[in-house]
Protein backbone atom coordinates (compact mmCIF):
# COMPACT_ATOMS: atom_id res chain seq x y z
CA UNK A 1 0.00 0.00 0.00
CA UNK A 2 1.34 3.41 -0.96
CA UNK A 3 1.73 5.93 1.87
CA UNK A 4 0.27 3.61 4.52
CA UNK A 5 1.34 5.68 7.53
CA UNK A 6 0.00 8.93 6.06
CA UNK A 7 -3.29 7.30 5.07
CA UNK A 8 -3.70 5.91 8.58
CA UNK A 9 -3.13 9.37 10.04
CA UNK A 10 -5.68 10.93 7.70
CA UNK A 11 -8.25 8.36 8.86
CA UNK A 12 -7.65 9.40 12.48
CA UNK A 13 -7.99 13.11 11.76
CA UNK A 14 -11.25 12.95 9.79
CA UNK A 15 -12.85 10.72 12.45
CA UNK A 16 -11.94 13.29 15.13
CA UNK A 17 -13.37 16.05 12.91
CA UNK A 18 -16.70 14.27 12.65
CA UNK A 19 -16.88 13.33 16.33
CA UNK A 20 -16.16 16.93 17.39
CA UNK A 21 -18.81 18.48 15.09
CA UNK A 22 -16.10 20.00 12.90
CA UNK A 23 -17.79 18.52 9.87
CA UNK A 24 -21.17 16.91 9.36
CA UNK A 25 -22.97 14.30 7.29
CA UNK A 26 -23.41 16.86 4.52
CA UNK A 27 -19.78 16.47 3.55
CA UNK A 28 -16.22 17.65 3.91
CA UNK A 29 -12.99 16.35 2.40
CA UNK A 30 -9.29 16.47 3.22
CA UNK A 31 -6.22 15.98 1.07
CA UNK A 32 -2.49 15.90 1.78
CA UNK A 33 0.34 16.46 -0.71
CA UNK A 34 2.77 13.54 -0.69
CA UNK A 35 5.19 14.82 -3.34
CA UNK A 36 5.14 16.46 -6.76
CA UNK A 37 3.24 13.51 -8.23
CA UNK A 38 0.64 12.42 -5.66
CA UNK A 39 -1.82 13.56 -3.05
CA UNK A 40 -3.82 11.37 -0.71
CA UNK A 41 -7.47 12.28 -0.28
CA UNK A 42 -10.66 11.20 1.43
CA UNK A 43 -13.22 9.58 -0.91
CA UNK A 44 -16.54 11.04 -1.90
CA UNK A 45 -19.41 10.48 0.57
CA UNK A 46 -16.97 9.90 3.43
CA UNK A 47 -19.39 11.67 5.78
CA UNK A 48 -22.76 10.64 4.40
CA UNK A 49 -21.99 6.93 4.03
CA UNK A 50 -19.06 6.34 6.39
CA UNK A 51 -19.55 8.98 9.10
CA UNK A 52 -15.84 9.67 8.55
CA UNK A 53 -14.94 6.25 9.97
CA UNK A 54 -12.51 5.27 7.22
CA UNK A 55 -9.93 2.53 6.73
CA UNK A 56 -6.52 3.29 5.20
CA UNK A 57 -7.38 1.48 1.95
CA UNK A 58 -10.35 3.84 1.54
CA UNK A 59 -8.04 6.85 1.41
CA UNK A 60 -7.33 7.52 -2.24
CA UNK A 61 -3.98 8.14 -3.86
CA UNK A 62 -4.54 10.62 -6.69
CA UNK A 63 -2.11 12.08 -9.22
CA UNK A 64 -1.92 15.73 -10.18
CA UNK A 65 -4.10 15.05 -13.22
CA UNK A 66 -6.91 14.01 -10.85
CA UNK A 67 -6.59 10.31 -11.71
CA UNK A 68 -6.94 7.67 -9.00
CA UNK A 69 -3.82 5.56 -8.52
CA UNK A 70 -4.89 3.48 -5.53
CA UNK A 71 -7.70 3.20 -2.98
CA UNK A 72 -11.27 1.98 -2.67
CA UNK A 73 -13.93 4.55 -3.51
CA UNK A 74 -14.48 7.43 -5.89
CA UNK A 75 -12.88 10.84 -6.09
CA UNK A 76 -14.96 13.68 -4.70
CA UNK A 77 -16.17 16.29 -7.18
CA UNK A 78 -14.53 18.90 -4.95
CA UNK A 79 -11.09 17.74 -6.01
CA UNK A 80 -11.00 20.74 -8.38
CA UNK A 81 -10.92 23.06 -5.35
CA UNK A 82 -8.11 21.05 -3.75
CA UNK A 83 -6.04 20.99 -6.92
CA UNK A 84 -6.57 24.72 -7.40
CA UNK A 85 -4.90 25.23 -4.01
CA UNK A 86 -1.96 22.92 -4.67
CA UNK A 87 -1.28 24.37 -8.10
CA UNK A 88 -1.54 27.95 -6.85
CA UNK A 89 0.95 27.58 -3.99
CA UNK A 90 3.75 25.04 -3.78
CA UNK A 91 4.02 25.48 0.01
CA UNK A 92 0.53 24.11 0.63
CA UNK A 93 0.83 20.59 2.02
CA UNK A 94 -2.75 20.04 3.17
CA UNK A 95 -6.17 21.25 2.05
CA UNK A 96 -8.89 20.74 4.64
CA UNK A 97 -12.54 21.41 3.78
CA UNK A 98 -15.21 20.94 6.44
CA UNK A 99 -18.64 22.04 7.62
CA UNK A 100 -17.90 23.04 11.23
CA UNK A 101 -20.85 23.79 13.49
CA UNK A 102 -19.85 27.20 14.87
CA UNK A 103 -18.12 28.62 11.79
CA UNK A 104 -21.09 27.63 9.61
CA UNK A 105 -23.12 30.40 11.26
CA UNK A 106 -20.82 33.04 9.77
CA UNK A 107 -20.40 31.23 6.44
CA UNK A 108 -24.15 30.86 6.02
CA UNK A 109 -24.73 34.55 6.72
CA UNK A 110 -21.90 35.55 4.40
CA UNK A 111 -20.10 37.31 7.26
CA UNK A 112 -16.40 37.73 7.84
CA UNK A 113 -15.47 35.76 10.95
CA UNK A 114 -14.18 38.11 13.68
CA UNK A 115 -10.70 36.99 14.70
CA UNK A 116 -10.78 37.45 18.48
CA UNK A 117 -8.78 34.73 20.19
CA UNK A 118 -5.03 34.76 20.69
CA UNK A 119 -4.74 31.27 19.22
CA UNK A 120 -6.05 32.40 15.81
CA UNK A 121 -4.19 35.69 15.36
CA UNK A 122 -1.65 34.20 12.95
CA UNK A 123 -4.49 33.81 10.44
CA UNK A 124 -5.18 37.52 10.14
CA UNK A 125 -8.46 38.15 8.35
CA UNK A 126 -10.90 35.23 8.07
CA UNK A 127 -13.13 36.24 5.15
CA UNK A 128 -16.20 34.65 3.65
CA UNK A 129 -15.64 34.30 -0.09
CA UNK A 130 -18.30 35.14 -2.69
CA UNK A 131 -20.87 32.41 -3.27
CA UNK A 132 -20.49 29.76 -5.93
CA UNK A 133 -22.15 26.32 -5.94
CA UNK A 134 -20.38 23.46 -4.21
CA UNK A 135 -18.11 21.36 -6.46
CA UNK A 136 -18.28 23.95 -9.25
CA UNK A 137 -15.41 25.26 -11.36
CA UNK A 138 -16.52 28.73 -10.28
CA UNK A 139 -15.89 27.94 -6.62
CA UNK A 140 -12.46 26.49 -7.38
CA UNK A 141 -11.62 29.66 -9.34
CA UNK A 142 -12.75 31.90 -6.47
CA UNK A 143 -10.53 29.99 -4.03
CA UNK A 144 -7.59 30.09 -6.46
CA UNK A 145 -7.96 33.84 -6.96
CA UNK A 146 -8.14 34.43 -3.21
CA UNK A 147 -4.96 32.45 -2.63
CA UNK A 148 -3.30 34.37 -5.45
CA UNK A 149 -4.08 37.60 -3.63
CA UNK A 150 -2.38 36.13 -0.54
CA UNK A 151 0.70 34.89 -2.37
CA UNK A 152 3.05 37.00 -0.25
CA UNK A 153 1.53 35.91 3.06
CA UNK A 154 2.68 32.93 5.08
CA UNK A 155 0.58 29.87 5.85
CA UNK A 156 -1.76 28.97 7.46
CA UNK A 157 -4.71 30.56 5.71
CA UNK A 158 -8.41 30.00 6.25
CA UNK A 159 -11.52 31.16 4.44
CA UNK A 160 -15.21 30.54 4.82
CA UNK A 161 -17.11 29.33 1.78
CA UNK A 162 -20.40 31.17 1.48
CA UNK A 163 -23.37 28.97 2.49
CA UNK A 164 -21.03 25.99 2.42
CA UNK A 165 -18.29 25.59 5.04
CA UNK A 166 -14.62 26.32 5.63
CA UNK A 167 -11.34 25.81 3.81
CA UNK A 168 -8.03 25.68 5.68
CA UNK A 169 -4.67 25.37 3.93
CA UNK A 170 -1.44 24.70 5.77
CA UNK A 171 1.88 22.91 5.46
CA UNK A 172 0.82 19.62 7.10
CA UNK A 173 -2.32 17.70 7.98
CA UNK A 174 -1.86 18.08 11.72
CA UNK A 175 -1.23 21.83 11.42
CA UNK A 176 -4.35 22.27 9.28
CA UNK A 177 -6.48 20.33 11.75
CA UNK A 178 -5.04 22.28 14.67
CA UNK A 179 -6.07 25.50 12.95
CA UNK A 180 -9.57 24.18 12.24
CA UNK A 181 -10.01 23.47 15.93
CA UNK A 182 -8.76 26.94 16.88
CA UNK A 183 -11.08 28.58 14.37
CA UNK A 184 -14.08 26.69 15.74
CA UNK A 185 -13.37 27.90 19.27
CA UNK A 186 -12.89 31.40 17.91
CA UNK A 187 -16.24 31.18 16.07
CA UNK A 188 -17.97 30.18 19.30
CA UNK A 189 -16.37 33.12 21.13
CA UNK A 190 -17.20 35.50 18.29
CA UNK A 191 -20.87 34.55 18.21
CA UNK A 192 -21.15 35.10 21.97
CA UNK A 193 -19.25 38.39 21.76
CA UNK A 194 -21.57 39.70 19.06
CA UNK A 195 -24.58 38.67 21.11
CA UNK A 196 -23.20 40.37 24.22
CA UNK A 197 -22.65 43.53 22.20
CA UNK A 198 -26.18 43.45 20.79
CA UNK A 199 -27.57 43.07 24.32
CA UNK A 200 -25.29 45.85 25.66
CA UNK A 201 -23.73 43.43 28.14
CA UNK A 202 -20.15 44.00 27.04
CA UNK A 203 -18.28 45.59 24.16
CA UNK A 204 -15.20 44.19 22.47
CA UNK A 205 -12.01 45.90 23.50
CA UNK A 206 -10.28 48.12 20.94
CA UNK A 207 -6.96 47.70 22.74
CA UNK A 208 -4.11 46.57 20.49
CA UNK A 209 -2.03 43.63 21.77
CA UNK A 210 1.24 42.07 20.76
CA UNK A 211 0.72 38.37 20.14
CA UNK A 212 3.13 35.46 19.85
CA UNK A 213 2.61 34.36 16.26
CA UNK A 214 5.42 31.81 16.28
CA UNK A 215 3.74 29.32 18.64
Each of the 215 residues of the chain gets a pLDDT tens digit; together they read 999 999 999 999 999 999 999 999 999 999 999 999 999 999 999 999 999 999 999 999 999 999 999 999 999 999 999 999 999 999 999 999 999 999 999 999 999 999 999 999 999 999 999 999 999 999 999 999 999 999 889 999 999 999 999 999 999 999 999 999 999 999 999 999 999 999 999 888 777 778 777 76
Map residue 14 onto helix, strand or coil: helix
**C-beta separation of 143 from 92 below 8 A:** no
pLDDT, position 214: 75
> Rounded CA gap, 158 and 138, in Å?
18
Calculate the alpha carbon distances from 23 to 27, 48, 66, 97, 165 in Å: 7, 11, 24, 9, 9
Spell out a b/e string for 173-205, using b for 16 or more CB atoms within 10 Å of the CB, else e. bebbbebbebbbebbeebbebbeeeeeeeeeee
**pTM for the whole thing?**
0.95
Calculate the alpha carbon distances from 30 to 47, 60, 99 in Å: 11, 11, 12
pLDDT, position 215: 65
CATH fold of 4-198, please? L-fuculose-1-phosphate Aldolase (3.40.225)
Amino acid sequence: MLYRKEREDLCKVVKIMFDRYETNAAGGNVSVRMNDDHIIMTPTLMSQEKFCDLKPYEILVVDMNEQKIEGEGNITREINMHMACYKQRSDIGCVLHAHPKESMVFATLGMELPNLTEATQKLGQIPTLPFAPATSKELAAIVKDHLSDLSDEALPKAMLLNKHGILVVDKTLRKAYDMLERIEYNAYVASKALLFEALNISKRSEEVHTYNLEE
